Amino acid sequence: MLEIKNLHASINGKEILKGINLTVRDGEIHAVMGTNGAGKSTLSNVIVGHPAYEVTEGEIIFNGQDLLAMKTEERANAGIFMSFQQPIEIPGVSMTNFMRAAVNARRKYQGLEPMPAGEFLKLMREKRKIVELDSKLANRSVNEGFSGGEKKRNEIFQMAMLEPTLSILDETDSGLDVDALRIVAEGFNKLRTPETSAIVITHYQRLLDYLKPDIIHVLIDGKIIKTAGPELALEIEEKGFDWIKEEAGL
């Protein structure tokens, strides 16, 4: 599904990613863990195409396509979705209009006609249930006045609407209480299929308890210094990152 080879990226001339290699196969969930400032969010931003980051070397192949040659919206329409660490507020634009624009943009990309209004509203109702968002959401402006938990649930709701093949959860667990975390994680799990994959960026084990990742990567100082099975996350929870750094000779 996704193949990242020797990826170097910088922001404002400062190199953050220093040669990332990562392969995600269909149906896999990968967790990327690491200390603050290690480059975890940079990695997700580069995959989705944040214009502030410059890729200086390497490549990303997504289902056979050269991802770095595609615009942000093309990547999204090709099936990449990011749950933002800090979802953005768009005053005055209702969730309904926003989602309608997004759903129809994807349909246009796929060569389909816009979705009829009735069908669209029905879809909104169905998908809302996955993350227990109430019906008032549809008329509220995008993320405006949403609580931290609602914002994250709203991200997973959008994921449900857009049915991506690769989802990136960028610290989706940050700022969530136990109940909200459960709703978000269970919502995410309902959307899993053997064809969909995910990259989960997190500091903590508790989200991974729900998501059960297949592979854990440790990202330190712009490089993946260790890759192992799910037991690694538990070890990190217990012992932190220092021992991994030492092992890698950092």
Comparison of 150 and 241: residue with beta carbon closer to another protein: 150
Size of the site for another protein (CB under 8 A): 36
Stretch that binds another protein, among 30-38, 83-91, 183-191, 230-238 (CB under 8 A): 83-91
**Residue of 24, 32, 48, 60 that binds another protein (CB under 8 A):** 48
* Length of the chain measured in residues: 250
Cβ 236 to another protein, closest distance in Å?
29
Stretch that binds another protein, among 14-22, 30-38, 84-92, 128-136 (CB under 8 A): 84-92
**Residue of 30, 40, 100, 226 that binds another protein (CB under 8 A):** 100
CA 39 to chain CA centroid, nearest Å: 15
Burial class (CB in 10 A: 0-12, 13-18, 19+), 9: buried
Task: Report the alpha-carbon distance of residue 78 to residue 64 in Å, rounded.
Answer: 11
Interaction between residue 35 and another protein (CB under 8 A):
no
How does DSSP assign 49-77, residue by residue?
T-TTEEEEEEEEEETTEEGGGS-HHHHHH
Spatial CA neighbour of 45 closest among 60, 30, 23: 60
Structure-token match 């999204």, residue found = 76
- Binding-residue pattern over the window 54 to 73 for another protein, x denoting contact by CB under 8 A: -----------------xxx
Task: Report the alpha-carbon distance of residue 70 to residue 110 in Å, rounded.
Answer: 15
Interaction between residue 84 and another protein (CB under 8 A):
yes
Q: How many CB atoms lie within 10 A of CB 51?
A: 8
Task: Copy the structure tokens of residue 92.
Answer: 């005055």
Cβ 159 to another protein, closest distance in Å?
10
Spatial CA neighbour of 181 closest among 148, 214, 158: 148
- Binding-residue pattern over the window 118 to 147 for another protein, x denoting contact by CB under 8 A: -----------------------xx-----
Cβ 93 to another protein, closest distance in Å?
4
**Residue of 25, 65, 66, 114 that binds another protein (CB under 8 A):** 114
